[in-house]
């Protein structure tokens, strides 16, 4: 099994999940710095849908790379796993946390 994706679709899936991880990481980092940002600011209302939609798109593209193009590289499987975890987070967050 190869580590890097072979197809363009697999590379797109990896790139979208990378964008999600970097965006979520920067958002979490900015929340830990006191008095810079908080969840009450408008930036979180814009950032969260963008990064989570990129993760869902990465999941869809990754599944297409696996099924259609037979790109069975390790990082494509990892990107699909990250997409599934992001979807589970969205559903579980909406069920158990009231804003």
Mean pLDDT over the full length of the chain:
90
Is residue 5 one of the residues assigned to a domain? no
Q: How far, in Å, CA of 19 to CA of 54, rounded?
A: 7
What residues make up the domain containing 84? 10-96
Q: Is the pTM of this model over 0.75?
A: yes
pLDDT of res. 79: 97
Is residue 15 one of the residues assigned to a domain? yes
Is residue 90 one of the residues assigned to a domain? yes
pLDDT at 31 over 90: no
Q: How far, in Å, CA of 4 to CA of 7, rounded?
A: 9
pLDDT at 99 over 80: no
Tell me how many domains the chain contains. 1
pLDDT in tens, 58-84: 999 999 999 999 998 999 999 999 999
CB crowding 40-50: b at 16 or more within 10 Å, else e: eeeeeeebeee
Name the CA dihedral angle for 72, 73, 79, 84, rounded to a multiple of 10 degrees: 30
Is residue 46 one of the residues assigned to a domain? yes
Is residue 4 one of the residues assigned to a domain? no
2: Cβ contacts below 8 Å, ≥ 6 apart: 72, 73, 74
């Amino acid at each position: 099994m190869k580590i890097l994706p072979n197809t363009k679709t697999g590379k797109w899936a990896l790139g979208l999940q990378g964008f999600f991880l970097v965006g979520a990481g920067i958002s979490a980092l900015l929340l830990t710095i006191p008095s810079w940002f908080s969840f009450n600011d408008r930036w979180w209302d814009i950032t969260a849908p963008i990064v989570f939609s990129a993760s869902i798109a990465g999941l869809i593209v990754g599944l297409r790379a696996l099924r259609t193009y037979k790109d069975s590289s390790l990082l494509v499987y990892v990107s699909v796993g990250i997409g599934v975890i992001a979807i589970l987070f969205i559903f579980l967050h909406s069920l158990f946390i009231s804003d």
